[in-house]
Structure 1
Amino acid sequence: MPRHIPRWLSAAAGAMLALAAWIPCTHAEERIDDGMRERVAACTACHGAEGRAGADGYYPRIAGKPADYLYHQLLNFRDGRRQYAPMTWLLVNLPDDYLREIAQYFAGLHPPYAANPRTQAPAAQLARGEALVRDGVPGRPACAACHGADLAGIAPAIPGLLGLPRDYLLAQIGAWQGGTRATPAPDCMATVARALSPEDVAAVAAWLASQPLPAGYAARTAPDHPLPIACHGVPQPVATEAGP
Structure 2
Amino acid sequence: MAGGPAQAQTQATVAPPGMAERVAACTACHGKEGRATADGYYPRIAGKPETYLFNQLQNFRDGRRQYPMMNYLLANMSDDYLHQIAAFFANEHPPYPPPVPPAATAAVLERGRALVTDGIRERRIPACAACHGAALTGVQPAIPGLLGLPRDYINAQLGAWRNGVRKARTPDCMADIAQALTPEDINAASSWLSAQPVPAGALPAASLPAPLPMTCGSMSHSARSGR
Same fold (TM over 0.5): yes
Alignment of 1:25-44 (within 5 A): 33-44=16-27
Partners in 1 of 2:69 and 2:220 — Cα distance?
A: 30
CA shift for structure 1 position 156 = 0.6
C-alpha separation in 2, matches of 1:42 and 1:54? 14
Identity of aligned residues (%): 60
Letter in 1 for 2:60: F
- 2:133 corresponding residue in structure 1: 148
Q: Give the drift of 1:68.
A: 0.4
Deviation at 1:145, TM superposition (A): 0.4
Partners of 1:235 and 1:64 in 2: CA distance: 22
Question: What's 1:186 paired with?
Answer: 171
Q: With structure 2 as the length reference, what TM-score do the two structures score?
A: 0.88
State the match for 1:83 in structure 2.
66
Contact 2:64-2:167 at 8 Å conserved across structures? yes
TM value normalised by structure 1: 0.82
Structure 1 match to 2:36:
53
SS at match of 2:66: coil
Note the 1:90-129 alignment, pairs <5 A: 90-129=73-112
Please state which structure has a larger fraction of its residues in helix. 2
What residue identity is the alignment partner of 2:146? L
Partner residue of 1:175 out of 160, 170, 183: 160
- The amino acid that maps onto 2:117 is R
Counterpart Cα distance in 1 of 2:78 and 2:36: 25
**Conserved 8 A contact 2:170-2:218:** no
Q: Give the whole-Å Cα distance in 1 for the aligned partners of 2:16 and 2:132.
A: 35
**For 1:51-72, what per-residue CA distance to the aligned partner results, in whole angstroms no more than 9, with x for missing partners?**
0001211101100000000000
Matched, 1:220 2:205: yes
Aligned positions, number: 205
Contact 1:155 1:220 in 2 (8 A): yes
2-structure distance, mates of 1:49, 1:72: 22
CA contact (8 A) 1:118 1:211 kept: no
The residue type equivalent to 2:55 in the other structure is H
Deviations 1:114-173 (A, max 9, x none): 222122111111000000000001210000000011101101100000000000000000
In structure 1, how many angstroms separate the alpha carbons of the residues matched to 2:16 and 2:125?
46
Mean Cα displacement is larger for which, 171-180 or 32-41?
32-41
Query: Which runs of 5 or more residues in structure 1 are unaligned?
Result: 1-31, 237-244
**Higher-RCO chain (CA-CA 8 Å, sequence separation at least 6):** 2
Structure 2: gaps of 5 or more residues: 1-14, 222-227
Letter in 1 for 2:191: A
Structure 2 CA distance for aligned equivalents of residues 176 and 184 of structure 1: 12
SS of structure 1 residue aligned to 2:53: helix
Whole-Å separation in 1 of the counterparts to 2:18 and 2:52: 22
- The alpha-carbon deviation at position 235 of structure 1 amounts to 5.5
